[in-house]
Amino acid sequence: MPPPSADQPHLIQVGVIAAVCFAVGVLWPTLSGISLVPAAPNKATPSDETPKAAPKPARSGADDDPNKAVPVSAVVPQAPKKNQEARAEIEKTLVVNCRDAKDRRLSQCDTPGFDDVAKDRLMALAACDVGGPVDGVLSIGFELDFEKEKITKISSGKSSTVDDGTASKLVDCAEKEFMSATLRGVEHTHARYLVFYMLRLSPPGAVIDEQPEEQQVAASGKATVIWNSARVRATPDDGAVKERLLYGTKVVVSARQGDWYKVRYDAKGSEGWIHKNALAL
């Protein structure tokens, strides 16, 4: 039997063995390159960073001047146009009735070519002195007698929006403007007409309501002149008069623009514009 002293542990040997094992356990993963736990993320090196976009090259030119003012039209809409002085504009023309030489009222009326006489004179009413600015519509009527070749009466209509006093003064001005007017040479079919104009009057500084320009559109067909004498113009509205066509003349229609038709009117293929009311299509 071993003596009792043999059962006591050798502490020095145990301590040496434990120290050796601890050292091996700590150093062995490092020496072998093995990682036993996840490593904390490291900061990206400059080479790992996403490359930044290259700065845009500087431009040279007047547009890069920081002191250059931005055009007003680029940041705000253009201000509406305003008329600098009083203005008159024909909004509508209406043939109320027509009569024959025996003063019998007719059921169907054409539109006489009175605009050539009336237009400029009506525009002049914008300068009529009525005691103040005028903003409204004047309905003004003309009794036309083609047998006498003159205007027999001028009056205001019920469709006027200006007050009665202003309308009366405007009619007085119109009588002076039309005093020298004659109906000689004006296209017509019947002996007498009552024609009304709706005249828009606006004071200085009023906003101008600009209408879009009427576009020319294709048209085709044949037509017959129904006026005693219809003017053929170089352009619609107020173009130079190229020819006069008599009642019954046959024409060929090729285009339309607003109230005007473009027609060929002779064997040479001459073309011009005739008002729609002068034609029967």
Beta bridge partners of 224: 250, 280
Its pTM stands at 0.56
Full pLDDT tens readout for the chain, 281 residues: 556 655 555 566 666 677 766 666 666 666 666 555 555 555 544 444 445 555 555 554 444 455 555 454 444 555 555 556 788 899 889 999 999 999 999 988 888 989 989 999 999 999 999 988 899 999 999 999 999 999 999 999 999 999 999 999 999 999 999 999 999 988 888 999 999 999 999 988 766 555 566 678 888 889 999 888 888 998 887 788 889 898 899 999 999 988 899 999 998 989 999 988 888 88
Task: Indicate the SS3 state at residue 64.
Answer: helix
Cα separation, 277 vs 163, in Å, equals: 33
Percent helix, strand and coil across the chain, each to the nearest 5: 25, 30, 45
Amino acid at 168: S
| Res 166: pLDDT | 94
Q: What tokens does 272 get? A: 């011009």
CATH of domain 217-280: 2.30.30.40
Residue pair 206/131 in contact by the 8 Å Cβ criterion = no
Tokens for 13, please give them.
Answer: 């040997």
- The distance of Cα 64 from the centroid of its chain, to the nearest Å, equals 33
Q: How many CA atoms lie within 13 A of 159 on its CB side?
A: 13
- How is the chain split into domains, by residue range? 87-202, 217-280
What are the tokens at 40? 């904390």
Whether residue 174 contacts residue 154, with contact meaning beta carbons closer than 8 Å, is answered with yes
Amino acid at position 265, single letter: Y
